[in-house]
Amino acid sequence: MEGLIVLLIIVLICLILPSVKQINEYERGIKFTLGKFSSIMNPGWNIVIPIFQSYSKVDIRTKAVDVPEQEAITRDNVSVKINAVIYYKIFDASKSILAVENYFYAVSQLAQTTMRNAVGAVSLDELLGEREKISTEICNIIDQATDPWGIKVENVELKDISLPEEMKRVIAKAAEAEREKMAVITKAAGEVEASLNLAKAADTMSKVPGALHLRTLATINDVSSDQSNTIIFALPIEVLRAFERSGEPKSPTLEDIARVIEMKDRH
């Protein structure tokens, strides 16, 4: 009799131990009884009766899915390659098992299709300049589509946008032309401001006697600070002729001749 009791205890232990299933804190268990959904297993030890019951674990942590690079055409017919990363988590473990066969694969495929459609609805300039806005639109579309699966899409980030080499050169030329335009406009504005300041300075010096002379002397002083410079003054030709006349002998006048004759008569 005692041997039979021991045998029964051993059999019970062998049946009970396999029936104890551990669910971790970041997991939820989906229990099926005779093939039908019966309950959600919370973290801890749970009893799953062999043969009659089965279960599946679902990880409810946030997942990061790298969406493969997709080739799409923008609204203005520019071919681009784009990839992204999507962050989502499961808020209803039962739906993620009962409503979709493989939620990981389903979310990845949905993200690829939505990303291509979103890129095709915008132009290249909008795609490059409004990346955050497009990411938000993609996130909202995927989130609405995955709600029946018990999945919450938290964020979508566009990682990289690859352009053809020809388009990169065109964009570089356009940017260079825009920079040159800005440089010409800035230079022209500087010329206008400089001319206004020169006009004001000329008006001020014309009203003050000696101002132009002092300004000339100040300029000469600035230039003469460097001994390697040679200063050349432009003088009117009349000034040079005056110097020439000062060096020539003067012709005798009538008064000079009369004075000489008078002195000879006295002697």
- Say which residue, 221 or 161, is predicted with more confidence: 161
Q: What pLDDT was estimated at residue 89?
A: 93
Q: What pLDDT was estimated at residue 264?
A: 47
Q: What does the pLDDT look like over 222-256, one tens digit per residue?
A: 776 767 767 676 666 665 566 565 555 555 555 55
Q: What pLDDT was estimated at residue 233?
A: 64
What is the torsional sign of CA 170, 176, 182, 185? negative
* Amino acid, single-letter form, for residue 76: D
Task: Provide DSSP, the chain.
Answer: -HHHHHHHHHHHHHHHHHHEEEE-TTEEEEEEETTEEEEEEPSEEEE--TTTEEEEEEE-S-EEEEEEEEEEE-TTS-EEEEEEEEEEEES-HHHHHHT-S-HHHHHHHHHHHHHHHHHHTS-HHHHHH-HHHHHHHHHHHHHHHHGGGTEEEEEEEEEEEE--HHHHHHHHHHHHHHHHHHHHHHHHHHHHHHHHHHHHHHHHHHHSTTHHHHHHHHHHHHHHTSTT--------HHHHHHHHHHHSPPPPPHHHHHHHHHHHHH-
pLDDT band at 72 (very low <50, low <70, confident <90, very high): confident
Q: What is the mean pLDDT of the chain?
A: 81
Q: What does the pLDDT look like over 102-114, one tens digit per residue?
A: 889 999 899 999 9
The Cα 70–Cα 108 span in angstroms is 12
Report percent pLDDT > 70 for the chain. 83
Q: What does the pLDDT look like over 189-202, one tens digit per residue?
A: 888 888 888 888 87
Residues 179, 181, 187: CA angle, nearest 5 degrees? 100
pLDDT band at 267 (very low <50, low <70, confident <90, very high): very low
Task: Enumerate the domain spans of the chain.
Answer: 2-58, 63-168
Residue whose pair of structure tokens reads 């997709």 in the numeric block:
70
Q: What pLDDT was estimated at residue 62?
A: 92
63-168: CATH topology: Tetrahydropterin Synthase; Chain A (3.30.479)
pLDDT band at 259 (very low <50, low <70, confident <90, very high): low
- Say which residue, 22 or 250, is predicted with more confidence: 22
Report percent pLDDT > 90 for the chain. 22
Q: Where is average pLDDT lowest: 17-21, 49-53, 260-264?
A: 260-264
Q: What does the pLDDT look like over 138-190, one tens digit per residue?
A: 999 999 999 999 999 999 988 888 887 887 787 788 888 888 889 889 988 88
Q: What pLDDT was estimated at residue 246?
A: 54
